[in-house]
A and B are shown apart, each in its own frame.
Chain A
Amino acid sequence: MIAQLFIEQGLNGLQLGVTLFLMAAGLTLVFGIMDVIHLSHGSFYMIGAYLTATLGARFDSYLLGLALAIPLVALIGMVVEWIAIRRLYERDHLDQVLATFGLIMFFNEAIGMIWGAQPIFLSPPESLAGTVELVPGLFYPQFRLAILGTGLTVAAGLGLMIRHTRLGMRLRAGASDRAMAGALGVNIDGLFTMVFGLGAGLAALAGGMAGTVLSVQVGMGESILILTFVVVVIGGIGSIKGALVGAILVGLVDTLARTMLPVALRATMAASQADSVAASLSSTSVYVLMILVLAWRPKGLYGART
């Protein structure tokens, strides 16, 4: 029984992990390459979820909705980069925090104006609505497995792209030395716009998929954003590998703490008290994890050493 719960929640944790990775990959690239703290990254996640829901309903196909939402959000991302973010590259982190804080306000309110304050629901495609019996007696939703598979595939694809393609080479050059990359003839402006669009698209993919598991509502971007920050800090800023490791770690720790802590605490105290203590403790587990990692390595697991 406990083993089954463990497997099921482990898979849920991995699934949160890949969602976080899709967010963190974009964020860590923007941090690492452009040196910009981008708070409104969560807005792209939210917009991705809303567009997937609306377009999916319009065309009566979740997959089509998601497929349309991703490029649309990437486009929105590029426009945002072109209008606002581009002016922040040479600014200090404080300006970046303020400006992107303003962007969050704008996006949240604008989404609220368009879609209303009530959460909307996004259903997974019917073809994936069933369950799979993973081990005897453990039925796991197909769609959650699909999210997991998609996330891991994208992670692998990103890794290959960064290591083996010309774009990846430029990204690495841009990350290590902006001036040098410029001197080598890399179009830095264009590159940055593209990276930003890519990050926004990945966030939209994450939002469109996560929207089926959670509800789609204003503010959903911020809760994932702060977890994503934790991932990026744990993994080390600018490192895709760090983002993957950090995301899986955070996903697992968060999910397992939420489900296993009450079980563990009930063994030692009254059930109602155990649930309340566990709820409090488990919601802070990832922050404790981050603090432990940073106490050990102030630059994160895969961060550049000074």
Chain B
Amino acid sequence: MAHAPDFRRWLALALLLILAVAVPPVLAALGQGFYIGFAARVLIMALAALSLDLVMGLGGMISFGHAAFLGLGAYVVGIGSWHVFDGAPLPFGLAGSENALIVWPLAMLVAGLAALGIGAISLRTTGVHFIMITLAFAQMLFFLAGGLKTYGGDDGITLYNRSQLAGLKLSDPTTFYYLCLGLLVTVLAVLLRLSSSRFGMVLRGVRDNERRMRALGFPTYRYKLAAFVLSGMICGLAGALLANASEFASPAIMSWQRSGELLVMVVLGGMGSLIGPVLGAVALMVLEESLADLTQHWQVILGPLLVLLALSARRGLWGWIKGRDGAP
């Protein structure tokens, strides 16, 4: 009983990976090279959705403010680049930098610290309160970013250069695409492994029944907080990549609609499966792009589609691909 879906699962994963690798040459051959940049953005949003699934799908914490971490990551890259161009020193004697090996980990660190603060307070609550508090925190950062007059206020920062990464030419769309793919696949593999580890078991236990977990002797708060921080860091990395992809960092990245989109990606793809949200990101962004080609008022179509999605079954795209299976 366990083998058939398992086989199907690995086959599907292998096919998806081959497809992802084939995207740039196929697009180039079709004369649609312009879309390689779009494809990279899809992978980046997939990474962000994946980070959300870590807290939401595995841990049962519905965060409606994950775009904040995306924005923080983007701003770290943006501010680093701005200071390289401007030459003005940063506080604490720091200088601007465009070195990916400095700026990207810093983006993860900043987003992780923010997640630590936000999580420490938000996780005191559950359910509706948690959803709304995470939303409120994200709004707070959104407005704070808009108030950064030095860094363009509401208009944000334009990147003069993409980050520098030892010998790679990140301004080349294909190189950048494969770098994003590599990071996405790595994070996905690590998280898949993590989901069946002791830590992953605790998260899934909390999602199923937190009260029972406490009665078993688990101090659940610290595990949830750790997952929230890890998730924030991954989302921060996605933000750093996003700033590079669009060569731009602005408060709009942190808008609550963006947080909502991430939720949609996770649910559309299949919550808790980690792979699903990646597919969900692809599906939603491709759908948005094609609807936008169709009509300027594409949201009037997408909105009702989302209502239908919420009202229909919950297994998501990945559940549909891999078929029925038993418990882990």
Contacts and interface: CB of A to CB of B under 8 A. Distances in A.
Indicate whether A and B are direct neighbours in the complex (CB within 8 Å): yes
A290 B297 contact: no
Contacts of B148: 280
A296 B131 CA distance: 18
Contact of B121 (A99, A101, A291): A291
A287 interface: yes
Interface in B117-160: 121, 124-125, 127-129, 131-133, 135-137, 139-140, 143-144, 146-149
B18 interface: no
Interface string B281-317: 0000000000000000111101111110111001000
A295 interface: yes
User: Which residue of B260, B300, B303, B307 has the most chain A CB atoms within 10 A of its CB atom?
Assistant: B307
Contact of A283 (B132, B143, B149): B143
B309 A98 contact: yes
B181 interface: no
Interface in A276-303: 276-277, 279-281, 283-284, 287-288, 290-291, 294-295, 298-300
A233 B129 contact: yes
Interface in B311-326: 311, 314
Contact of B264 (A91, A98, A295): A98
Interface string A93-134: 111111101111111111011000000000000000000000
Contacts of A102: 302-307, 309-310
B203 interface: no
A98 to B, nearest CB: 4
Contacts of A81: none
B302 A93 contact: no
By DSSP majority rule, is chain A's interface helix, strand, loop, or mixed? helix
Contact of B263 (A97, A110, A276, A291): A97
B237 interface: no
B114 to A, nearest CB: 14
B62 interface: yes
A228 to B, nearest CB: 10
Interface in A242-300: 276-277, 279-281, 283-284, 287-288, 290-291, 294-295, 298-300
Interface residues of A, number: 48
B128 A31 contact: yes
Contacts of A31: 128
B256 interface: yes
Contact of B147 (A109, A229, A232, A280): A280
A209 interface: no
Interface residues of B, number: 43
Contact of B306 (A105, A107, A113, A280): A105
B121 A294 contact: yes
B62 A93 contact: yes
Contact of B311 (A97, A99, A284): A99
A113 to B, nearest CB: 5
A110 B309 CA distance: 20
A63 to B, nearest CB: 32
A294 B64 contact: no
A18 interface: no
Nearest to A275: B149
Contacts of A108: 299
B170 interface: no
B49 to A, nearest CB: 14
Contacts of A300: 129
A108 B304 CA distance: 12
A37 to B, nearest CB: 6
B302 A105 contact: yes
B267 interface: yes
B270 to A, nearest CB: 13
Contact of B124 (A84, A109, A294): A294
A294 B133 contact: yes
A287 B314 CA distance: 33
A99 B124 contact: no
A279 B309 contact: no
A235 to B, nearest CB: 12
A96 B56 CA distance: 15
B309 to A, nearest CB: 7
A94 B263 contact: yes
A226 interface: yes
